[in-house]
Structure 1
Amino acid sequence: MDRELVELVDQERVRSGELLTIGAFAARSRLSPKALRLYDRLGLLPPAHVDATTGYRYYRADQAERARMVALLRRLDMPLARIAEVVEPAGLDGPSAADRLACYWAEAEARFASQRTLAEYLRGRLSGRSSEMYGKFVVETVDVPEQVLITQTRHILPDELPTWIGAALGRLEDAAQACGGTTGAPFVAYHAEVSQESDGPAEACVPVADEAAARAWAEEHGRAWDTGVRVEPARRLAYTRITKAQVANPQIHAAFEAVEEWIAERGLNHAGPCREVYFADWDAAGPQDAVCDVAFPVR
């Protein structure tokens, strides 16, 4: 079929209402032409037909339901990539699409709850009531001898951190069996801030007994796991002990700040990256059981 005939056919389909211009479809779907062009580029809502000569987009009337669904999902602040999973043609009306939406909303509610807690903490901090809200943290010092550490380092963002800590320390504790066994509590050292604007890195560390065996293990597995071995010199740690329920934002931030204030009040200097030392069985611990020391090396 030559181009002129194709154009005539397209014009007839538009006149008959089988195809809608982008302007007409925008009015029917209550989306702007700009949004429709974006959704086309992202593959969320491709037009039924694109004129090869003019580039004009045409839509079928029955695409309006999909367009409205995309618009409603955007009102939930759902990322476009997640919307694509929900409105894929095979799942738009099926339970799998509903399950994907439910999963997204559960994640969103967890995020809102975390943000609500953080907002309460910030209000308390700005009003000078932080210690009333979270209690007074008791800060002490402890001397830690030189340690051989097997480690795994990763640049990471806050949402990924809890899962990564458990997985990384679990792998390293399993590996410690080939390195003479563990000689101390595992910990995570933060070489830079982990936040939405900064990805660390964070370093999971497990003290082991046999340095030679540890280096042999790292030589074999280091590339696959991004692991290494280092010897950390003897250190004095200033720390406060927190419960399992407090190993979450913003309580753990308040604990870090309490230790930093204690260090500054005594004129001490930081001597290494801050850390979380996990000395208890996390899975067996209850919410009010002490599980972690928030610590700073000092001199």
Structure 2
Amino acid sequence: MDPDPDPLLTIGEFAARARLSPKALRLYDRLGLLAPAYVDGATGYRYYRTAQVEDARTVVLLRRLGMPLAEIAGVVGLDGERAALAVAAYWAGVEERHAEQRTLAGYLRGRLSGRGSAMHETYQKDFPIEIVDVPEQYVISETRHLLAEELPVWIDASTRRLEEAAEAECGGAAGAPLVIYHSDVTQDSDGPAEACVPVRDAAAARAWAQAAGRQRGVDSRVEPAHRLAFTRITKAQVSYPQILAAFQAVEDWASREGLTITGPCREIYFAEWETTGPDDEVCDVAFPVSR
């Protein structure tokens, strides 16, 4: 009889080959990451196959990547291609979080260093300001009182609802969606915020808003012509509270230029959120201004 081509290894032998401690192997077994091939019912001794060495090393590499054990359990249960896609998705999330933390660290450095010339130079470099004249627009909108942590989900959902309504019932969208903050939205202050989509057919928009019966704060209105001072920011910089640095930069610039802020601040989303990366420009942070 041919010998077993993949003989059982004791936990000590397997640990040496996999460059893991027996304690780590017992933890991985308990969490469902790497179960032994056989457990002796009488002694409780664990035995592994040599073919499992590669699985053990994969777990180690995923841990070095910083992946939580709960996520590793999902990855090791997948076939090769799906496992590779899962790792790619995890790392994309890590890079996005790091980009957000990088911009937040920059914002905090600016705040902590004071508001002298160094702060002014940082704002000039990081947030160049431009001016644009915006014509009168008719918009459909949705207004909600909510806190800062609720904003990302609400902005995405409300914008999608409004864009669908614009295309289906209001002659199509006539410009990029925007969010107007009529009062502070922070961790403690709930706004309100107003999501808007410019539309082509004002009469149809009025009929749509009336039929909606102002549900979910739905309305339609004229957004008057105005001049905007704005700075363009990346997807990573959109996250709260680092986005506050961009608003502060526009406010400070307007003050230095002798301009008066004439309306509430706003974010204008000109890029498709789902297809952009953390370092792609996606949003204009703006204030209406006049002399």
TM range (shorter): 0.5 to 0.7
Tell me which residue corresponds to 2:283.
Answer: 292
How far residue 155 of structure 1 moved from its aligned partner, in angstroms, is 0.5
Mapped to 2, the partners of 1:236 and 1:121 lie a distance apart of 27
Choose which of 173, 188, 198 in structure 1 pairs with 2:179: 188
In the TM superposition, what are the counterparts of 1:245-284 in structure 2 within 5 Å?
245-284=236-275
1:154-179: per-residue Cα shift (whole Å, max 9, x none)?
A: 01101101100000001000000110
Choose which of 135, 138, 141 in structure 1 pairs with 2:131: 141
Tell me which residue corresponds to 2:107.
Answer: 121
Q: Report which structure shows greater RCO (CA 8 Å, sep ≥6).
A: 2
1:62-90: per-residue Cα shift (whole Å, max 9, x none)?
A: xxxxxxxxxxxxxxxxxxxxxxxxxxxxx
Find out whether 1:198 has 2:184 as its counterpart.
Answer: no
Find out whether 1:169 has 2:155 as its counterpart.
Answer: no
Where 1:194 maps in the other structure, the secondary structure is coil
In the TM superposition, what are the counterparts of 1:166-245 in structure 2 within 5 Å?
166-177=156-167, 178-245=169-236
Q: Which runs of 4+ in 1 moved over 3 A?
A: 113-124, 128-135
Mapped to 2, the partners of 1:222 and 1:123 lie a distance apart of 47
* Compared CA separation, residues 268 and 290, structure 1 to 2 (3 A): same
* Compared CA separation, residues 274 and 164, structure 1 to 2 (3 A): same
Is the Cα–Cα contact under 8 Å of residues 150 and 214 in structure 1 kept in the other structure?
Answer: yes
How far residue 119 of structure 1 moved from its aligned partner, in angstroms, is 7.2
Mapped to 1, the partners of 2:135 and 2:190 lie a distance apart of 29
Is the Cα–Cα contact under 8 Å of residues 114 and 249 in structure 1 kept in the other structure?
Answer: no
Where 1:283 maps in the other structure, the secondary structure is helix
Mapped to 2, the partners of 1:287 and 1:117 lie a distance apart of 11
In the TM superposition, what are the counterparts of 1:44-193 in structure 2 within 5 Å?
121-128=107-114, 132=122, 135-177=125-167, 178-193=169-184
* Compared CA separation, residues 191 and 133, structure 1 to 2 (3 A): closer
Gaps of 5+ in 2: 1-96
Is the Cα–Cα contact under 8 Å of residues 100 and 236 in structure 2 kept in the other structure?
Answer: no
1:72-122: per-residue Cα shift (whole Å, max 9, x none)?
A: xxxxxxxxxxxxxxxxxxxxxxxxxxxxxxxxxxxxxxx9x9899857733
1:197-235: per-residue Cα shift (whole Å, max 9, x none)?
A: 311100000000111100110111143332000101101
1:1-38: per-residue Cα shift (whole Å, max 9, x none)?
A: xxxxxxxxxxxxxxxxxxxxxxxxxxxxxxxxxxxxxx
Where 2:157 maps in the other structure, the secondary structure is helix
Is the Cα–Cα contact under 8 Å of residues 134 and 251 in structure 1 kept in the other structure?
Answer: no
Give me the identity figure in percent. Answer: 63
Mapped to 1, the partners of 2:212 and 2:126 lie a distance apart of 43
Where 1:280 maps in the other structure, the secondary structure is coil
Compute the RMSD of aligned alpha carbons: 2.6
Where 2:253 maps in the other structure, the secondary structure is helix
1:277-298: per-residue Cα shift (whole Å, max 9, x none)?
A: 0011111111111110000001
- More moved, 273-282 vs 117-126: 117-126
Mapped to 2, the partners of 1:280 and 1:120 lie a distance apart of 24
Is the Cα–Cα contact under 8 Å of residues 189 and 273 in structure 1 kept in the other structure?
Answer: yes
* Compared CA separation, residues 146 and 116, structure 1 to 2 (3 A): closer
Residue type of the alignment partner of 1:180: G
